[in-house]
């Protein structure tokens, strides 16, 4: 079976050792180890490959391997589970107990890495994965540097480090964090991972735009009325109050994932498809976002927090009733914002971003709303907004692309109806969609930084977001709107997009929750 999304990278990485800091955490079980196993089963990892799980908790290696076996069984695709390679893969995993702030732990880690180099001929190639809160990153980087684990062992070897978002908690902390990291690592060694960029449909945005002559001539202010980006989740905070209540939806989703989606939609064609050119164009978009004045935040950015409700007889708690959340918390679980890109291609075109928890369904999609015809010749269309053509790019779930356009209803009368022309990745049948982490982990081992975030992109994103954070902090009169769990957010969020016959696109057929997902 063809392993879609990875065929473009036929090269197998060099032998290496991957150290996962925070290996006892949830990300290692859900994403990292299952993704590595699927790469291994597909023949895309070198034979001489090892994983060291590093964390404070004392766990015997045998027990750690057993927990990873369960994780593989729960999270890997069925075809890979049938490959019978699990035992061989687990033989390459071991656990190392250490403290992130203890230099002696890193000296011991360095000694173990040298032993693995000798035992498995891994050539001194090392990948350090920071699956830890951003507050712990600087200390780990400091100890790696002091123990010289940041330096390649030889001229023929490499050392790389992957950081998980969030890259800081605001502009000041992001700049400080990068300063601490670059004390020991060069920018080309640093891979800031945003798993959205590893998704097939996110990469396909670039192909849709730049490989099809029917789209690119229309991709500008002359033909596009507005752009809508939605990322909703039906779940709440899932026992993550300790993280989420200090983060919120703006930091958790908008500053990274959704601004990256916006940059892919709006960027100019890169001169060549390589890491520098692509990231240069992405950066230009983020730098062109119109800054918010303090007086604009109230009307241009809506924040909300879900309240308790009853859905199909089930009582859903409000955010403040979730375990670990302070009863007076003002952390936002919903954000909707309106922004503009001040350049020649997009001047005057509004971009709308919406994200939230406890909404009717889980979906991430981008909707391109094209301008209406200069004159409405057919006036019997019931919904005026539906007379505008739409291109819908579904990131998750049910990945695909949909085009909405008008057709005549069969019959003797001249009636017009919107119809859909759609493509679903699932229609390909015999092609598996790899997880985003598969693609990104493999790219890092190959040294391909195209789909990773550069530091100047991180700083530009925080520069755009910081005025909103400051306004929320300094102006207590800016409201935090409540919305019942299971709805599409505060009603006032509709005011952002209203005024020109428009409303947000609601991806569900049935807002009462009868249908799991809706048509694309």
Question: Choosing from 3, 195, 226, 257, which is the catalytic residue?
Answer: 257
Q: What is the Cα–Cα distance from 385 to 494, expressed in whole angstroms?
A: 14
Mutual orientation of helices 275-288 and 259-266 as an angle, nearest 10°? 100
Q: What is the Cα–Cα distance from 191 to 199, expressed in whole angstroms?
A: 17
SS3 of 167, please? coil
Per the DSSP assignment, residues forming a β-bridge with 315 are 310
> What one-character-per-residue DSSP string does 357-388 give?
SS-SS-EEEEEEEEPPPSS------SSGGGGS
Q: What is the Cα–Cα distance from 118 to 426, expressed in whole angstroms?
A: 45
Of 483, 453, 480, 462, the residue nearest 163 (C-alpha): 453
Residues 123 and 15: beta-carbon distance below 8 Å:
yes
3-state secondary structure 436-491: HHHHHHHHHHHCCCCCCECHHHHHHHHHHHHHHHHHHHHCCCCCCEEEECCCCCCH
CA dihedral 228, 358, 332, 455 (to 10 degrees): -60
Active-site residue flag, 257: yes
> In the Cβ-directed half-sphere of 79, how many Cα atoms lie within 13 Å?
13
Spatial strand order of the sheet with 390-396 comes to: 416-424, 400-408, 390-396, 363-370, 224-232, 350-356, 334-340, 301-307, 481-484
For the chain, counts of helices (H) and of strands (E): 17, 17
Handedness of CA 166, 170, 171, 173 (dihedral sign): negative
DSSP state, 213?
T
Residues 395 and 365: beta-carbon distance below 8 Å:
yes
Active site residues: 257
């Amino acid at each position: 079976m063809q392993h879609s999304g990875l065929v473009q990278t036929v090269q197998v990485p060099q032998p290496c050792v991957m150290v996962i800091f925070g290996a006892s955490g949830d990300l290692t079980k859900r994403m990292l180890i299952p993704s590595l196993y699927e790469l291994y089963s597909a023949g895309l990892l070198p034979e001489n490959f090892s994983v060291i799980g590093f964390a404070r908790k004392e766990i015997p290696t045998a027990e750690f391997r057993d927990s990873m076996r369960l994780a593989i069984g729960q999270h890997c695709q069925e075809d890979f589970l049938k490959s019978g390679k699990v035992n061989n893969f687990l033989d390459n995993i071991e656990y190392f107990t250490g403290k992130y702030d203890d230099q002696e732990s890193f000296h011991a880690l360095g000694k173990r890495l040298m032993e693995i180099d000798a035992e498995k001929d891994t050539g001194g190639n090392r990948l350090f994965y920071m699956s830890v809160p951003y507050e712990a990153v600087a200390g780990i980087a400091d100890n790696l540097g002091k123990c010289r684990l940041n330096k390649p062992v030889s001229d023929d070897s490499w050392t790389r480090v992957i950081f998980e978002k969030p890259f800081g908690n605001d502009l000041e902390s992001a700049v400080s964090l990068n300063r601490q990291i670059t004390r020991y690592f060069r920018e080309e060694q640093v891979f800031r991972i945003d798993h959205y960029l590893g998704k097939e449909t996110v990469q396909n945005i670039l192909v849709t735009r730049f490989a099809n002559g029917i789209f690119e001539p229309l991709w500008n202010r002359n033909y596009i009325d507005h752009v809508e980006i939605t990322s909703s989740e039906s779940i709440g905070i899932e026992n993550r109050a300790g993280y989420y209540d200090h983060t919120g939806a703006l930091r958790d989703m908008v500053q990274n994932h959704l601004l990256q989606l916006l940059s892919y939609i709006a960027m100019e064609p890169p001169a060549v498809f390589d890491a520098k050119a692509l990231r240069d164009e992405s950066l230009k978009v983020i730098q062109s976002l119109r800054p918010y004045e303090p007086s604009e935040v109230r009307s241009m950015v809506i924040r909300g927090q879900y309240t308790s409700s009853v859905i199909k007889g089930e009582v859903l708690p409000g955010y403040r009733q979730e375990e670990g959340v302070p009863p007076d918390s003002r952390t936002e679980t919903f954000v909707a914002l309106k922004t503009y890109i001040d350049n020649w291609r997009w001047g005057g075109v509004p971009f709308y971003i919406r994200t939230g928890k406890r909404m009717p369904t889980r979906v991430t999609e981008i909707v391109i709303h094209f301008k209406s015809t200069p004159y409405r010749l057919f006036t019997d269309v019931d919904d005026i907004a539906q007379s505008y053509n739409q291109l819908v790019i579904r990131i998750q779930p049910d990945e695909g692309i949909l085009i909405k356009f008008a057709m005549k209803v069969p019959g003797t009368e001249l009636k017009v109806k919107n119809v859909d022309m759609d493509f679903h990745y699932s229609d390909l049948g015999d092609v598996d969609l790899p997880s985003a982490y598969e693609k990104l982990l493999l790219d890092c081992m190959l040294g391909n930084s195209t789909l990773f975030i550069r530091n100047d992109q991180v700083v530009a994103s925080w520069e755009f977001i910081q005025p909103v954070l400051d306004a929320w902090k300094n102006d207590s009169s800016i409201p935090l709107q409540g919305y019942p769990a299971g709805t599409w957010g505060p009603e006032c969020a509709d005011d952002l997009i209203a005024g020109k016959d428009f409303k947000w696109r609601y991806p569900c057929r049935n807002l009462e929750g009868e249908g799991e997902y809706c048509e694309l």
